[in-house]
A and B are shown apart, each in its own frame.
Chain A
């Protein structure tokens, strides 16, 4: 658990860089976190991030691959091309949520 300065605010993060207090998150923070992953957020990315945000508020968990596909309406291929090399983990981190705990 530590703190870091990003996009002009202080955020609490865990050892792996996932935010631990979602109240500190905003869209500028997301942009900055995405830059750390080498990603420039586009409308396509925001569709994924907004779905994770909405779903987390309902289910208190980061949605899995299938849920993002079936309910979020985002194709698996697209998800991998938007967030290469670990899509859900990266998207969850940028969305300001904890590391996903689902296996699928």
Chain B
């Protein structure tokens, strides 16, 4: 039952551009909206790939330097870390993971962003990163509401829980 301590608003920062870096933020933002919680998503540094038209559907699992990586199931036998550097490994791991995600109805990045936006979640890009990567408005997916400075991000996060991923 609802109580007064209920979280009313979250601001989620997505700072990484790998599959395991991007999805938790998207799932949390969508989950917030499903609970009736206001959600802002702020994409910064390589996290910006999740809202860049050319990059958003090419996001991959980082296989190098990831000792938790296992095949074929997350609790199966581990994989020597050096194998992560074999050409194509990231592609294979990503394809396998995406198949599992599809089974539990987790959408591809572009569709997920659209779903969150349609659900009333706000999508923001970090100004410093946009300048650094020399990006233009047409490089982004249409759901991006605005490019924000850090100051503006804090302003619109008033009263929100800020979550950094």
Contacts and interface: CB of A to CB of B under 8 A. Distances in A.
Query: Is B truly associated with A?
Result: yes
Interface of A: 15-17, 64-67, 69, 75-77, 80, 84-89, 102-104
A76 B118 contact: yes
B119 interface: yes
Interface residues of B, number: 17
B35 A86 contact: yes
A17 B106 CA distance: 28
B98 interface: no
B118 A75 contact: yes
A98 B27 CA distance: 22
A16 B36 CA distance: 16
A85 B31 CA distance: 12
25 contacts: A16-B1, A17-B1, A65-B30, A65-B34, A65-B115, A65-B119, A66-B105, A66-B107, A66-B111, A66-B115, A67-B105, A69-B115, A76-B119, A77-B118, A80-B33, A80-B118, A80-B119, A84-B36, A85-B36, A86-B35, A89-B34, A89-B35, A102-B105, A104-B30, A104-B106
A22 B40 CA distance: 37
Contact of A64 (B36, B105, B119): B105
B105 A87 contact: no
A76 B34 contact: no
Contact of A88 (B27, B34, B105, B120): B34
Interface string B24-55: 00010011011110000000000000000000
A76 B115 CA distance: 7
B136 interface: no
Q: Which 7 A-B pairs have the closest CB atoms?
A: A85-B36, A76-B118, A86-B36, A66-B105, A77-B118, A64-B105, A104-B106
B71 to A, nearest CB: 24
Contacts of A86: 34-36
Contacts of B1: 15-17
A75 B34 CA distance: 14
B97 to A, nearest CB: 15
